[in-house]
Amino acid sequence: MSIQSLNGQGKRRLLAAILILIVIPLTILAGVFYFDDRKYYFISMLIIVYTMLPFAMVFEQRGPRARELILIAVLAALAVAGRSAFYMLPQFKPVVAIVIIAGVCLGAEAGFLVGALAGFVSNFFFGQGPWTPWQMFCFGIIGFIAGLLFQKGKLSKTRLSLCLFGGLATFFIYGGIINLGSLFMFTAEFSWGALLATYISGFWFDMIHALSTVIFLFLIARPMIEKIERVKIKYGLIEPGDEK
């Protein structure tokens, strides 16, 4: 089912535990003591970067095979090409749909990497900015969750369940985190009122984004999953005992 073996998970958990328990509180403390005026944005961005580190480190340590690298690169490139194909329609983007398909077909780790890479690389074409780590994290985590849920059997490859998950994940996970990030970017004093205002002003954008994900999943999920499965069988990317 997933092309990587799962021994990366223990290591990732350890790394993540170290980061969450030691490095993140230290960063917050340093921010509180030294950077009085701009702590929210700087600290939140650092934390976002920390959360992505375990994925990168585990992936590097594992020494992935060439075919695995290529599959991830191909899917990320398709997502970026899709994003640039629809550049004239704001928020109407197939990126989340492709990331979810990657997570379902190739596993949680590959889902995260495809999402984060798609976010990073598309900004080489659209311009890097303070929003880059947030987008990388949001796309990545959606792919990761899709992979995990599929592995646990909570998400199936049917259209209905994929569309449902895609719409909800885009609206709540992507919209929820990106709006928080833009609030930190524009204001320094956190207040619930301002957060609510940010969510309200972003409502329609998130809605369009979620809707576009549902539409793209409805249309491309079946052909794309078919193709990826076919390639996995044809080139022997399935490990023995993985097939459910």
Partner 1 sequence: MRDSFAGLHPALTFSYFVCMIACSMLVMHPIAQAIALVGAFSYSVLVKGAKALKFSFIYLLPMLLIMAVMNPAFNHQGVTILFYLKSGNPVTLESILYGVAAAVMFITMILWFSCYNAVMTSDKFIYLFGKVIPALSLVLSMVLRFVPRYIEQIKAISHAQRCIGRDMTQGNLWSRAKNGINILSMMTTWALENGMETADSMKSRGYGLPGRTTFSIFRFDGRDGILLGIMGLLAAIMGAGIMSGTVSMRFFPSIKLAPVTVWSMAVYAAYALLCMLPVIINLQEAWKWKRIESKM
Which residues lie near partner 1 (CB under 8 A)? 34-38, 41-42, 45, 56, 59-60, 63-67, 69-74, 76-78, 80-81, 84-85, 113, 117-118, 120-121, 124-125, 127-130, 185-189, 191, 193-194, 197, 219-220, 223-224, 227-228, 231, 235
Specify whether the CB–CB gap between 169 and 209 falls below 8 A.
Answer: no
Specify whether the CB–CB gap between 82 and 98 falls below 8 A.
Answer: yes
Q: How far is the CB of 193 from partner 1 (least distance, A)?
A: 6
Residue 34 to residue 32: CA distance in whole angstroms: 6
Task: Report CA Rg, the chain.
Answer: 18
Q: How far is the CB of 31 from partner 1 (least distance, A)?
A: 10
Residue 58 to residue 55: CA distance in whole angstroms: 5
Indicate the residue among 76 and 177 with the shorter CB distance to partner 1: 76
Indicate the residue among 102 and 138 with the shorter CB distance to partner 1: 102
Q: How far is the CB of 187 from partner 1 (least distance, A)?
A: 6
Specify whether the CB–CB gap between 132 and 141 falls below 8 A.
Answer: no
In 107-235, which ranges are continuous DSSP H helix? Answer: 108-126, 132-151, 159-168, 175-186, 192-234
Indicate the residue among 148 and 225 with the shorter CB distance to partner 1: 225
Amino acid found at 9: Q
Specify whether the CB–CB gap between 24 and 47 falls below 8 A.
Answer: yes
CA 41 to chain centre: 20
Q: How far is the CB of 134 from partner 1 (least distance, A)?
A: 14
Q: How far is the CB of 153 from partner 1 (least distance, A)?
A: 26
Indicate the residue among 120 and 165 with the shorter CB distance to partner 1: 120
Q: How far is CA 203 from CA 6, 172, 187, 188, 195, in A?
A: 38, 10, 19, 22, 12
Q: How far is the CB of 127 from partner 1 (least distance, A)?
A: 6
Indicate the residue among 161 and 187 with the shorter CB distance to partner 1: 187
Indicate the residue among 125 and 172 with the shorter CB distance to partner 1: 125
